[in-house]
């Protein structure tokens, strides 16, 4: 595959389109082509910026109320319909039951797959946020090694209050926190220093227990995740996977007095 | 299931998506709410023909139609003609060159402003792809254009944003 052929395909691939075979040859091409890799990265960088800087507008409570009121008015003007009853539909019920069972099964399967995908996307978004922050955009919005400073700063800006723990005596120094905007939700990010490494810890109210590999590598960064009693913890860093994984599990125990 | 129940179960969960699209198309809080309100009335009327999956894309198609109809009534200048070619007029370089207009108008101070300043035909595919995260196929159906056109408009939207001076100023 040459670059001319690859151009549109790389874009489609980056947008999550295209079939497995094509994606395979694109991946192979990207490994050996810095030009196309740069193009792919510029799309990803633009996407990361759009998702953080371009707002997703949400319908106001007033609009919700207005729509519901109009629907109510329309409903009131329509006479209630009589439902078809009678025995001639009864034979359908067996099929309906089987259909329901099949739908429930499909729904469960679907939600599992969707939740898994959502988690994967969240990890990718978290790594992008980590990269942006460490590139010098804004690593820290509240700089403090005092958890009693970081915690109120975060809870004042979120609808939840993330546990902030100081693990300096274990080598993980709290250096501050910031707010990220991932997957359309504001997320608390705690920033720790471990030796020469910066560790970003993304804390969310426990979102899902959907399956996700506890440890992943995305673009060379390690992402380790653990679920605690009240929060979902995801640590992203270039630190050793084993260290990161132990650290995030330590945090997820949430057993340090607040 | 009555139309009202279907509407509440299938359509209403996507009210935010509808509002977000309408807001980016109209670029105004009140106009967006009017467009969404109109779209809801239409959706209620046709909800009987909606089969469960793809409700979001189906509703967004209606929102988009409601927007273009609203535009004809309120901002006829924004879409030049009302014969359905209006959107392509916007990307027809012979008519006005919206790309040049976009690049000349370097007044956007933020990325959000730059997105809002994109010609509407580019803006809608960009919003559907990057904020709604819809597939090319769904976008093609919503915007009523071939997939190839989705790809070329998306590519042009991105290249305009990447060429915009503000993206280089920040880093």
Mean pLDDT, residues A200-224: 78
ipTM of the complex: 0.85
Supply the pLDDT for residue B70. Answer: 93
Most confident of A91-95, A106-110, B82-86, B130-134: B130-134
Question: Is pLDDT larger for residue B48 or for residue A88?
Answer: B48
Stretch B51-79: mean pLDDT, rounded?
A: 88
Cross-sheet strand order for the sheet of A172-182? A142-143, A172-182, A185-194, A197-205, A231-237, A221-227, A215-218
The band of B85, judged by pLDDT with boundaries at 50, 70 and 90, is very low
Q: Tell me the nearest-neighbour CA distance from B99 into chain A, angstroms.
A: 18
Taking the C-alpha atoms of residue A143 and residue B38, their distance in angstroms, rounded to an integer, is 48
B136 touches chain A (CB under 8 A): yes
Residue ranges covered by each domain of chain B: 1-78, 82-171
- Helix, strand or coil for residue A163? coil
Rounded distance between C-alpha atoms, residue A76 and residue B164, angstroms: 52
Q: Quote the pLDDT of residue A242.
A: 86
Q: Do A64 and B15 touch (CB under 8 A)?
A: yes
Instruction: Summarize pLDDT for B120-148 with one digit per residue, the tens.
Output: 999 999 999 999 999 999 999 999 999 99
Tell how many helices (H) and how many strands (E) occur in chain A. Answer: 7, 7
> Average per-residue pLDDT in chain A?
82
**Alpha carbon distance A250, A103 (integer Å):** 40
CA angle A61, A64, A66 (to 5 degrees): 110
* CATH architecture of structural domain A114-252: 2-Layer Sandwich (3.30)
Q: Selecting from 3.90.70, 1.10.1760, 1.10.1740, 3.30.1330, what CATH number does the domain B1-78 have?
A: 1.10.1740
CA of B131 vs chain A CAs: smallest distance (Å): 7
What per-residue confidence (pLDDT) applies to B22?
A: 97
Nearest neighbour of A57 by CB, restricted to B20, B136, B158:
B20
B128 shares contact with chain A (CB less than 8 Å):
no
CB pairs under 8 A between A and B: 82
Domain B82-171 has CATH 3.40.50.1820: no
User: Best mutation site among A46, A103, A136 for testing chain B: the one with the most B CBs within 10 Å?
Assistant: A46
Chain B residue with minimum CA distance to A42: B162
Q: pLDDT by residue (tens digit) across A116-147?
A: 666 677 888 888 888 888 776 577 888 788 88
């Amino acid at each position: 595959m040459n670059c001319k052929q690859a151009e549109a395909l790389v874009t489609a691939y980056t947008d999550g389109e295209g079939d497995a075979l094509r994606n395979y040859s694109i991946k192979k091409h990207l490994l050996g082509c810095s030009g196309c890799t740069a193009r792919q990265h510029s799309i990803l960088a633009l996407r990361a910026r759009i998702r953080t800087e371009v707002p997703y507008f949400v319908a106001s409570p007033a609009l919700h109320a207005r729509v519901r009121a109009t629907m109510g008015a329309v409903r009131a003007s329509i006479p209630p319909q009589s439902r078809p009853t009678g025995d001639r539909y009864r034979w359908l019920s067996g099929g309906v039951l089987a259909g329901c069972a099949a739908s429930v099964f499909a729904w469960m399967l679907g939600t599992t797959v969707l939740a898994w995908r959502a988690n994967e996307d969240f990890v990718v978004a978290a790594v992008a946020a980590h990269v942006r922050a460490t590139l010098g955009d804004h690593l820290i919005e509240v700089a403090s090694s005092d958890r009693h400073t970081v915690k109120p700063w975060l809870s004042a800006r979120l609808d939840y209050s993330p546990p902030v723990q100081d693990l300096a005596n274990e080598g993980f120094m709290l250096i501050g926190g910031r707010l990220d905007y991932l997957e359309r939700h504001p997320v608390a990010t705690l920033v720790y220093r471990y030796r020469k490494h910066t560790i970003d810890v993304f804390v969310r109210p426990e979102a899902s227990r959907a399956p996700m590999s506890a440890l992943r590598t995305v673009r060379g960064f390690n992402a380790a995740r653990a679920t605690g009693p009240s929060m979902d913890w995801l640590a992203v860093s270039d630190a050793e996977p084993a260290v990161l994984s132990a650290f995030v599990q330590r945090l997820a125990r949430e057993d340090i007095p607040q | 299931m009555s139309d009202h129940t279907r509407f509440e179960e299938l359509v209403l969960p996507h009210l935010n998506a509808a509002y977000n699209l309408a807001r980016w198309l109209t670029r105004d809080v009140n106009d967006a709410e009017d467009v969404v309100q109109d779209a809801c009335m239409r959706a209620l009327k046709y909800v009987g023909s909606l089969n469960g999956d793809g409700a979001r894309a189906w509703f967004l198609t209606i929102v988009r139609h409601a927007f273009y109809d609203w535009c004809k009534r309120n901002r006829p200048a924004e879409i030049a003609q009302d014969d359905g070619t209006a959107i392509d007029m916007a990307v027809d370089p012979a008519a006005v060159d919206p790309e040049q207009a976009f690049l000349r108008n370097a007044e956007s101070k933020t990325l959000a402003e730059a997105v809002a300043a994109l010609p509407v035909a580019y803006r809608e595919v960009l919003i559907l792809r990057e904020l709604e995260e819809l597939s090319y196929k769904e976008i093609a159906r919503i915007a009523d254009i071939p997939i190839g056109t989705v790809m070329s408009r998306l590519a042009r939207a991105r290249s305009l944003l990447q060429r915009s001076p503000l993206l280089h100023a920040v880093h």
